Amino acid sequence: MSRFEALALRPPIEPMETRQVARLPDGERWQYEPKWDGFRCVAFRDGDDVELESKSGQSLTRYFPELVTALLALKAQRFVLDGEIFVQSDGGFDFDLLLQRIHPAESRVRKLAKETPVTYTVFDLLVDEKNAPMFERPLEERRERLEAFASRYLKANRAIVASPATDDAEIAGAWLSGDVARLDGVIAKRIDLPYAFGSRDAAVKIKRAYTADCVVGGFRGGKTGAIASLLLGLYDGKELAHVGFIGSMDAAERKRAGELLRPLVTTHSFTVAIPGGPSRWRKGGEAGEWFPVEPKIVVEVSFDHVTGQRFRHAARFLRWRPDKKPRQCTIDQLLSPK
């Protein structure tokens, strides 16, 4: 029997998504959770086998050996959990330290596992310890079963914790206003719906700043000189639409951008709302020219307003997102803040 074949749910899966809204929804149908600043992770365990799957469907297992050990230490032998991996630092979360954990050298991974161990906060139970599928049941029932699971199996395991949750919009509003240090925002989920694989229909996110995960479709600047700006795209169906640019980055990030993007220079990238100026790379590198790149690199940006499905002003670079697939960067992330 192959790995995980006995589980009621096997990898890979498409985790439930969220769509961004401007305000907390209110009413009896909603449950609120903190939005953690880390890597989304679905954890599968079947006896002695553990698999950690990212939001993009890629394996995270080799990068977090301390979490694999913690999951194997649980008395429950079979389960599937949905949650977030993060690194705690100075009372908050350190995404840069988390990014460093994605390293090709096993010796480096082991070293960082000891120096910057992760926490896995669980917010959904998809398969319980009896191998019963929970994903078909409404969130209200899944949450009750998760709390029972946590009470029985997680109390003695500091690396794995159950995420707080509440049905009180005032508490969620306090989280959003800053009661939890460096919290990324709040997630609101419909309590009456089953787990929505790959869908944004059952949950929304309210962030302290408006953000989006975008594909880098090109850059401005010389082929070998400094990169002046990154050109951003979002997928609208099969089309990659140009939605704006990043104009402000520090020297280290510009250097990193050059290392990532110059090997990806190509002839075409955006297919909708193509930026002005030359539409393909030429050897001269004239001022104002932009260089299309293969749509493989994802960045998270912050923005203020959207007009006609474009950022009204320059977006601000937040971080690289190697854990996200470009095709997950869809145009429905945008909204017009009021």
The mean per-residue pLDDT over the stretch 311-323 comes to 89
Q: How confident is the model at residue 276 (pLDDT cuts 50, 70, 90)?
A: confident
pLDDT beyond 70 at 70: yes
More confident residue, 44 or 91: 44
Same fold, 19-207 and 211-333: no
Strand, coil or helix: 187: strand
pLDDT beyond 50 at 24: yes
Q: How confident is the model at residue 281 (pLDDT cuts 50, 70, 90)?
A: very low
pLDDT beyond 60 at 284: no
The mean per-residue pLDDT over the stretch 77-84 comes to 97
Provide the annotated active-site residues.
Answer: 35
Residue-wise over 254-277: b if at least 16 C-beta within 10 A, else e? beebbebbeebbeeebbbbbbbee
What fold is seen in the domain 19-207? D-amino Acid Aminotransferase; Chain A, domain 1 (3.30.470)
The residue assigned the tokens 């509003």 is 173
Query: Nearest CA to 8 among 124, 136, 132?
Result: 132
pLDDT beyond 90 at 26: no
The mean per-residue pLDDT over the stretch 99-112 comes to 92
What fold is seen in the domain 211-333? OB fold (Dihydrolipoamide Acetyltransferase, E2P) (2.40.50)
Contact 240, 257 (CB under 8 A): no
pLDDT beyond 70 at 223: no
- How many other C-beta atoms are found inside a 10 Å radius of the C-beta of residue 212? 26
Give the tens place of pLDDT for each residue, 137-181: 999 999 999 999 999 999 888 899 999 999 999 999 888 876 555
pLDDT beyond 90 at 12: yes
DSSP β-bridge partners for residue 277: none
Query: Nearest CA to 238 among 323, 311, 330?
Result: 330
The mean per-residue pLDDT over the stretch 62-84 comes to 97
Report domain extents, the chain. 19-207, 211-333
Cα 27 to Cα 95: distance, rounded to the nearest angstrom: 33
Q: What sign does the CA torsion over 100, 206, 182, 154 have?
A: negative
User: What is the predicted pLDDT for the residue at 335?
Assistant: 61
pLDDT beyond 50 at 185: yes
Query: Nearest CA to 39 among 50, 53, 51, 21?
Result: 53
The mean per-residue pLDDT over the stretch 248-277 comes to 88
User: What is the predicted pLDDT for the residue at 243?
Assistant: 94
The mean per-residue pLDDT over the stretch 211-219 comes to 94
CA geometry: angle at 131 spanning 128 and 136, to 5°? 70
User: Burial level of 197, CB count in 10 A (0-12/13-18/19+)?
Assistant: middle
The mean per-residue pLDDT over the stretch 186-213 comes to 91
Q: What sign does the CA torsion over 70, 73, 74, 80 have?
A: positive
The mean per-residue pLDDT over the stretch 50-79 comes to 96
Cα 215 to Cα 226: distance, rounded to the nearest angstrom: 20
**Joined tokens for residue 80:** 């599937």
pLDDT beyond 70 at 222: no
DSSP secondary structure string, 202-259? SEEEEESS-EEEEEEEEEEE-SSS-EEEEEEEEEETTEEEEEEEE----HHHHHHHHH
The mean per-residue pLDDT over the stretch 18-22 comes to 87
Residue-wise over 279-290: b if at least 16 C-beta within 10 A, else e? eebeeeeeeebb
User: What is the predicted pLDDT for the residue at 338?
Assistant: 40
In total, the chain counts a number of residues equal to 338
More confident residue, 221 or 299: 299
